[in-house]
Amino acid sequence: MKILSPLCSAVFASLLLPGLAVDEVECKKFGEIYADGTQMMEKMWDNAFKVVPTGEPSYEQWWFSSLNPNNDVTELIFGTPAPTNCGLEYYHKPGNATPHDPSPENAAQSECLPWITSSCCDENTVLDTQTIKEAYGKNYEWDRCGPISQGCERFFVQEACLYECDVNAGKYRLCSEDDIANSETKDIGLGYNISCNDNGYGNRWQIYNMPVSKMYADAWYRSCENDSFCAADGGSFFSCALRYENSDAFKQQQQQQPQGDPEIVTEIVTVEEEVPVLPGWAIALIVVGGVAVVAAAGLAVFTNVVVSAEKAGTPMFQPLNPGSAA
């Protein structure tokens, strides 16, 4: 991919290298990132969830009865029975363009047990905590700021189970098939628009405003109070993942360089050409806008542009390689 002109390379290098190392993604305690459970829940998941007052209809992220109580919640909110197909796509079974029915899983999986009789996720996707944590790649691991307590981690597992396995999550898909066909954009209050069909990939994975209770959100927040999480972009998991992706690529390139190599700056930029982590037009933006950017402020601006651009223009979850699904 020959995107970077020499000018662009120079700008790119000046944005990445001085002082503000791109490999450092800021970590803070949950309590410093978010004001409360509501802000945590909504900000972390980019408004996939909406926190509602305890007692109002909201979806359970875990339960102990034999029937899924979320089916009743859907009935209460929409006045229609729970959907009969899964609606969401990504790691949802078993694959692409057509919706699929939830089906039983066997007991091989030790997580997401409530959904075992009727599940939109394959048991291999949610085999255990480790599998869930690593499912979307290193940049989506929730303990990038260091090991987190088990009490805190449980909530990430529960969220994953609800999202991956619950048929009702499909009721909250952001983009309908019509939206995808018409390449609609959606403004969900993130400061940029979401594309329903970018690069020809339908956004069938994203959910928006699924109600969860304030009690649950606050319990999550309290359980994580002494744990650390990525603070980038106010603690958005998706923005953080993008930072980690860029930072991991950067570190990998650094490791490939001999120590003290005077050519390192040139080398990093050269390698950057071979492993593009930015969409081409975002790099074009840097060329146009980047020259005027003062170096000190450069990284922040650069990162914000890229984060917004990436989220607006490229699905956070790229389609999986057929075969690579866990």
Among 223, 228, 246, 303, binds ligand NAG (CB under 6 A): 223
Count of residues that bind ligand NAG according to CB under 6 A: 8
Terminal-residue alpha carbon distance, the chain: 29
Return all residues near 18 (Cβ < 8 A) that are at least 6 apart: 295, 296
- Both structure tokens of 126: 């949610």
Nearest CA-CA partner of 248 in 227, 277, 273, 274: 277
Given a contact cutoff of 8 angstroms between Cβ atoms, the answer to whether 158 and 148 are in contact is no
Nearer to ligand NAG, 176 or 226 (CB): 226
Residue 231, helix vs strand vs coil: coil
Binding mask 96-125 for ligand NAG (x = CB under 6 A): ------------------------------
Stretch of 57-65, 106-114, 222-230, 274-282 contacting ligand NAG, by CB under 6 A? 222-230
User: What does the alpha-carbon distance between residue 46 and residue 188 come to, in Å, rounded to a whole number?
Assistant: 9
| Total length of the chain | 326
**Minimal distance in Å, beta carbon 194 to ligand NAG?**
9
User: What does the alpha-carbon distance between residue 41 and residue 36 come to, in Å, rounded to a whole number?
Assistant: 9
**Minimal distance in Å, beta carbon 312 to ligand NAG?**
7
**Minimal distance in Å, beta carbon 40 to ligand NAG?**
14
Nearer to ligand NAG, 124 or 185 (CB): 185
**Minimal distance in Å, beta carbon 300 to ligand NAG?**
19
Nearer to ligand NAG, 271 or 285 (CB): 285
Residue 225 in contact with ligand NAG, rule: CB under 6 A? yes
How does DSSP classify residue 281?
A: H
Please state the separation of Cα 227 from the chain's center in Å. 19
Nearer to ligand NAG, 29 or 50 (CB): 29
Please state the separation of Cα 252 from the chain's center in Å. 22
CA angle 8–17–290, rounded 5-degree value: 35
**Minimal distance in Å, beta carbon 278 to ligand NAG?**
19
Nearer to ligand NAG, 57 or 313 (CB): 313
Residue 211, helix vs strand vs coil: strand
Binding mask 178-197 for ligand NAG (x = CB under 6 A): -------x-x---xxx----
> Where do contacts with ligand NAG occur on this chain (CB under 6 A)?
185, 187, 191-193, 223, 225-226
